[in-house]
Amino acid sequence: MISYGVRQIFVILLTFGYNIILTRFLLPAEFGKVAVIMIVVNVAVLLADGGFGVYLIQRRAEVNDNDLARVATVQLYFSCLLTSFCFMIAVTVSALYGSVQLAWMVAVASVSLPFLVIRGMSLLLLERSVQINKTVRVELLEEGTFAVAAIFFANYGAGAWSVVIAMIFKALVGSAAASLLGRFRLRIVPVLWDQELRDGFRFGMHYQAAQLINMARVSIIPLFIIPVFGFHAGGLVERSLYFASAPLSIILAVQKKTMFPFIARIQQSRENLRVFLGNSIYASSILDKFMFLPLALFAREIVMLVFGEQWLPMLPLLYWLIAGNVIFGALAGTLYPAANGIGRSDLISKFNLIAFIISWLLMVPFTLFWGIQGVGIAALVMWGGIHWLRTRIKAEIGMFPYYVKIIKPVLAFLVSFAMVKVLSLYTTGETYSIGRLAFLTLASYVAYVVVLLAIDFRRIFNLIQKMRFSHQQ
């Protein structure tokens, strides 16, 4: 599991790396178009999957070739239908309003859907046989393909089309690699919509409801921000949301895969579960403060050096988003796998549904009043809703701590932040120098670790001892 976690982090870092490069090459307006494309395609992927993949993974009965063929056939029909629908929309829009590039971008990107069905079925075989390390090989290969294609075409001025082309290459390579490793062979068979398929669809869509609702919440960018403020503002919001959550995403990805099976195994012992959740919150809090510190300190310098001056308008929004993630991020990373581990994934669906409604109720008036900065203010206010999920899980397993676990990491974050800010006033060199930025970043890490050890050495030592003991067992 640790090996998988390390490889998963590498995949995320690769994704983060090419996103930085693409942000350098593409203008904010181009990323506004990308935001629309990604929302439509991601929703289409979930609809084409129908939740059957999740159903087959958790099904107790053995999955045979006929089961795979039936599900793959249904998914292939759905994906081809959705792709045809996207092209029909593009043709209709072009006939009514002339050539509309965005509609054709969405249509071309949807060509990847049938290949993603093949990829999904192949990876299902690997996941069901617990060969998750092989799934990471596929992810590494397809993310590398996407990076090369997107950067190549963006460098030659393709704009948002570079992302569309890269999506097609990624789907082709990913489906081929997954089929090879998973030994999946596609067979089209007659499909009878019987009770088993209905049960599978019902189970899978319930499981995926949280993702669909979350996508509906994020859809505020294409459905409101872009029509009201334009593609430029949509791109600023999309990139701010991505980079402000990047450090937390790395932690969440590892927690999602490693915590869920462990919690499911110890859920009968409520006392052990509460202790584990407390330790997880503390460890997450230490890590996310460590990772967010340079971004909070040097957001302006990073934007200027890495992305370019055209991205400076996103700074106020970025600061608001970082503030929410620093304060509440450790709780979210622990509660999601905890709810799934104790068999209450419905709580996450309800939480995301509430967040979806509140996000629209807050973000629309806030952005009309404060511009795109209102998205960040609304996001910070909405973080308070995470305590609803905490209360529901607490009702299931009993009381477990949060603020007492994060107060010292937050204190270390604030003290080291102030120390490095003072240090930066006395360092020489250009304001936007990579060397100066690297030196101050290293200084911030050292200051954070030293301060945290000084104020909470015993707890850190005990946590490391427990982790070693758990690993040995």
Question: What are the tokens at 219?
Answer: 């859809």
When pLDDT is averaged across residues 257-285 and rounded to a whole number, the result is 77
Q: How far apart are CA 333 and CA 292, in angstroms?
A: 15
Whether 83 and 113 have beta carbons less than 8 Å apart is answered as yes
For residue 5, give the nearest of 120, 124, 125, 136 by alpha carbon. 136
337 against 267, higher pLDDT: 337
pLDDT for the residue 187: 73
Note the helical H segments in 371-432.
Answer: 373-382, 386-397, 403-425
Q: How far apart are CA 468 and CA 473, in angstroms?
A: 9
Q: How far apart are CA 422 and CA 345, in angstroms?
A: 46
Q: Output the average pLDDT for the chain.
A: 82
- Give 226's contacts (C-beta < 8 A, 6+ positions apart): 32, 35, 36, 233, 234
- pTM for the predicted model, two decimal places: 0.83
Whether 235 and 36 have beta carbons less than 8 Å apart is answered as no
pLDDT for the residue 105: 94
pLDDT for the residue 150: 95
Question: What are the tokens at 9?
Answer: 């982090």
Check whether 472 has a pLDDT greater than 60: no
Report pLDDT digits (tens) over 37-47: 988 888 888 77
Check whether 375 has a pLDDT greater than 90: yes
pLDDT for the residue 50: 64
pLDDT for the residue 1: 46
For the chain, percent of residues with pLDDT exceeding 90: 30
Q: Which residue has the tokens 């807050």?
A: 362
pLDDT for the residue 3: 54
Report pLDDT digits (tens) over 167-192: 999 999 988 888 887 776 777 767 66
Report pLDDT digits (tens) over 240-254: 998 898 888 877 777
Q: How far apart are CA 164 and CA 109, in angstroms?
A: 5
pLDDT for the residue 58: 56
Check whether 85 has a pLDDT greater than 80: yes
Q: How far apart are CA 464 and CA 473, in angstroms?
A: 14
pLDDT tier at 457, thresholds 50, 70, 90 = confident
Q: How far apart are CA 233 and CA 40, in angstroms?
A: 19
pLDDT for the residue 30: 93
Q: How far apart are CA 256 and CA 254, in angstroms?
A: 5
Give the DSSP per-residue string, 66-109.
Answer: HHHHHHHHHHHHHHHHHHHHHHHHHHHHHHHHS--HHHHHHHHH
Report pLDDT digits (tens) over 312-341: 999 999 999 999 999 888 887 788 777 777
Amino acid (one-letter) located at 395? A
297 against 196, higher pLDDT: 297
- Give 239's contacts (C-beta < 8 A, 6+ positions apart): 23, 28, 31, 307, 311, 314
For residue 336, give the nearest of 268, 410, 272, 280 by alpha carbon. 280
Question: Which of the listed ranges 120-129, 291-300, 455-464 does the model predict with the highest average pLDDT?
Answer: 291-300
Burial of 388 per CB tally in 10 Å (0-12, 13-18, 19+): middle
